[in-house]
Amino acid sequence: MHRRNFLKTGSLAGLTISTLVAASCNQPSAENKAGETAAADNSKDDIFELSEITITDLQQKMQSKQFTSRLITELYLKRIDQIDKKGLMLNSVIELNKDALNMADAMDREREKGKVRGPLHGIPVLIKDNINTGDNMHTTAGSLALADNFAKQDAFIVHKLREAGAVILGKTNLSEWANFRSTHSTSAWSSRGGQTKCPYILDRNPSGSSAGTGTAVAANLCVIGIGTETNGSIVSPASVNGLVGIKPTVGLWSRSGIIPISKTQDTAGPMARTVKDAAILLGTLTGIDTLDLATLGSKGKVEADYTKFLDVNGLQGKRLGIEKTALNDNPAVVALLQEAIKTLKSKGAEVVEIELYKELKTINSNEFNVLLYEFKDGLNQYLGNANSKIKALTDVIAFNKQNEAKAMPFFKQEILEQAQAKGDLNSKEYLDAVKQTSTGTRKVIDDMLAKYKLDAIIGTTNGPAVCIDLVNGDYDNGFGFSGPAAMAGYPHITVPMGLAHGLPIGLSFFSTAYKEGEIIKLGYAYEQASKKRVTPLFKPDLFA
């Protein structure tokens, strides 16, 4: 859940405080300035053998026996130790997998015998800590309340990862409870994992809730990662961290075994440094799961290999609708958007202005109620089957109150309490709200695509990374475009668009259900024409 975008589009808007004004990051104190300066100096010499490497590169190196999966895994584990746990202390990895090297060894043995399972064979991946792994790792959503939770079995998508031969390096930190705990929360902070930093400017926030995955992939701690999204939690941290992020159609990937917020909006998805890597991961983890009925809708609409849509000429003859309000934002961001529009046109696309947000204005106000009801229902189901002493939302609330100093040192749990006060999913308030939010948003988007004969809708994904502010919480960072596709359950891809004051900004493309292939085609053509991915410099602050 990306709280800043939700505050702008949902009914929480009236609950925000004075933090909606622009803010400056705190300058480094005298006691830590020397350490941060040293970190900045070290970043200039950030020479890493696997920097910006792709899945295809690694497969070629393993095929030629230049690398083994074990060596690759060892290199990533060493880098995590050097700059995530020590040194820069990015704090993106909440837990390492003790079996990672064993998994790598097993894949190397298979390769030696001539067996290669596919493009992910031997490839290290990090996954968000709200996704079950039936192994030695916890699944906690970043909450101390679930610090004892070892999942009984893998989530469906983790099972698919193992089948594909991927090496699970560990789990990433996140905004606690996927940023659905407090109206005054700070993204990328959890009571179990602490605060994750943005690798571009270290006193900036890498955005929620898949912040750890965003930072880890951007900082080259893994090849690819998995995040989850309810509203913005894949595309926002991908944008802020200079990545490609794909939020699939709800139902393309199973959600079983993932700590939920919303059954109508939740999905996991790939986060990568290139469109191709994201497309590889996307196709590998699709499949019908009887434990997630939403996946039944994907039957006959799924591609086993989304890389077939990687076409450098994919923008030719396409018609794209640009959200008009995105053109009236932070001047530095608008300049990047205008440059992107020129690139899109130069590659054969037609771009027309539309006013989608104007049409969605009345619908947005119901989203928060939908999430409150579905969070309570879904979390109680998850916890009821969890291998933890915490068995219901009421237990979470009670634990946090009893352990307030550690569990809630900066912000409280108003959203958890509001969810607990709601009834069940047969409540008229819920049924009315979900009909207007999900069905209504889909109709508006589909009608607009038809009216203007559009292949996709585009806009700035969101503004630059904000300052880490645990006292006041998150604040507004300008235009954000996660809401429409999130509420509709439609596919959304963000691709790096450039830097504003040294901070990455993404360009969004979204369309109607199961059009992942089409938006991947558009995103890839733009990526190849623009080449805007920039490796992070780990600057301590804006002025370094």
**Are 407 and 145 in contact, with CB atoms under 8 Å apart?**
yes
**Kind and range of the H or E element at 268?**
strand 267-272
- Selecting among 128, 160, 171, 539, the annotated active-site residue is 128
pLDDT per position as a tens digit, 125-136? 999 999 999 999
Residue 28: per-residue pLDDT: 41
DSSP 189-246: EETTTEE---SSBTTB---SSSHHHHHHHHTTSSSEEEEEESSSTTHHHHHHTT-EEE
pLDDT per position as a tens digit, 524-539? 999 999 999 999 999 9
pTM for this model (two decimals): 0.94
Residue 32: per-residue pLDDT: 44
* Residue 23 binned pLDDT confidence (cut-offs 50, 70, 90): very low
Rounded to an integer, what distance in angstroms lies between the CA atom of residue 431 and that of residue 64?
57
Cα dihedral across residues 214, 181, 6, 491: positive or negative? positive
Neighbours of 346 (CB within 10 A): 10
Residue 3: per-residue pLDDT: 53
Name the residue among 167, 203, 172, 207 with its Cα closest to residue 187: 207
* Residue 31 binned pLDDT confidence (cut-offs 50, 70, 90): very low
* Residue 364 binned pLDDT confidence (cut-offs 50, 70, 90): confident
pLDDT at residue 225 above 90? yes
* Residue 37 binned pLDDT confidence (cut-offs 50, 70, 90): very low
Residue 317: per-residue pLDDT: 98
pLDDT at residue 489 above 70? yes
Rounded to an integer, what distance in angstroms lies between the CA atom of residue 302 and that of residue 283?
8
pLDDT per position as a tens digit, 300-323? 999 999 999 999 999 999 999 999
Rounded to an integer, what distance in angstroms lies between the CA atom of residue 159 and that of residue 154?
6
**Are 253 and 268 in contact, with CB atoms under 8 Å apart?**
yes
DSSP annotation of 436: I
Q: What does the angle CA 414 – CA 264 – CA 134 come to, to the nearest 5 degrees?
A: 80
Rounded to an integer, what distance in angstroms lies between the CA atom of residue 61 and that of residue 121?
12
- Selecting among 233, 256, 508, 511, the annotated active-site residue is 233
**Whether residue 128 lies in the annotated active site:** yes
Residue 361: per-residue pLDDT: 86
**Kind and range of the H or E element at 351?**
strand 350-354
* Residue 362 binned pLDDT confidence (cut-offs 50, 70, 90): confident
DSSP 484-512: HHHHHT--EEEEEEEEETTEEEEEEEE-S
Name the residue among 134, 130, 128 with its Cα closest to residue 99: 134
Share of the chain above pLDDT 70, in %: 92
Q: What does the angle CA 261 – CA 266 – CA 272 come to, to the nearest 5 degrees?
A: 125
Q: What is the largest CA-CA distance in the chain?
A: 62
Q: How far is CA 437 from CA 428, 483, 511, 523, in A?
A: 14, 11, 17, 27
Residue 229: per-residue pLDDT: 98
Half-sphere exposure of 203 (CA within 13 A, CB side): 19
- 283-293 burial string, b = 16+ CB within 10 Å, else e? bbbbbebeebe
Residue 127 pairs with which residues in a beta bridge? 171, 226
- Length of the chain in terms of residues written: 544
**Are 479 and 333 in contact, with CB atoms under 8 Å apart?**
yes
Beta-carbon contacts of residue 152 (< 8 Å; ≥ 6 apart): 132, 134, 385, 387
**Token pair recorded at residue 247:** 């939020």
Q: What is the mean pLDDT of residues 332-359?
A: 98
Whose tokens are 């979900």? That residue is 434
Rounded to an integer, what distance in angstroms lies between the CA atom of residue 240 and that of residue 244?
10
DSSP annotation of 298: G
**Token pair recorded at residue 419:** 């969810």
With left for phi above 0 and alpha for psi between -120 and 50, is residue 495 left, alpha or beta? beta
Q: What is the mean pLDDT of residues 215-235?
A: 98
pLDDT at residue 93 above 80? yes
DSSP annotation of 438: I
**Token pair recorded at residue 272:** 């990568």
Residue 44: per-residue pLDDT: 57
- Selecting among 209, 262, 388, 530, the annotated active-site residue is 209
**Whether residue 427 lies in the annotated active site:** no
pLDDT per position as a tens digit, 386-417? 999 999 999 999 999 999 999 999 999 999 99
With left for phi above 0 and alpha for psi between -120 and 50, is residue 507 left, alpha or beta? beta
CB-based burial label for 511 (10 Å; 0-12, 13-18, 19+): buried
DSSP 3-state of 66: coil
Rounded to an integer, what distance in angstroms lies between the CA atom of residue 135 and that of residue 486?
31
Q: What is the mean pLDDT of residues 371-375?
A: 98
pLDDT per position as a tens digit, 146-182? 999 999 999 999 999 999 999 999 999 999 999 999 9
**Token pair recorded at residue 377:** 């229902």
DSSP 3-state of 331: helix
pLDDT per position as a tens digit, 262-286? 999 999 999 999 999 999 999 999 9
Residue 5: per-residue pLDDT: 55
**Whether residue 209 lies in the annotated active site:** yes
How many DSSP H helices and E strands does the chain contain?
20, 13
Residue 96 pairs with which residues in a beta bridge? 170
Rounded to an integer, what distance in angstroms lies between the CA atom of residue 18 and that of residue 410?
17
Name the residue among 330, 355, 335 with its Cα closest to residue 463: 330
**Token pair recorded at residue 429:** 């308030």
**Kind and range of the H or E element at 96?**
strand 93-96
Cα dihedral across residues 544, 206, 271, 509: positive or negative? negative
**Are 166 and 125 in contact, with CB atoms under 8 Å apart?**
yes
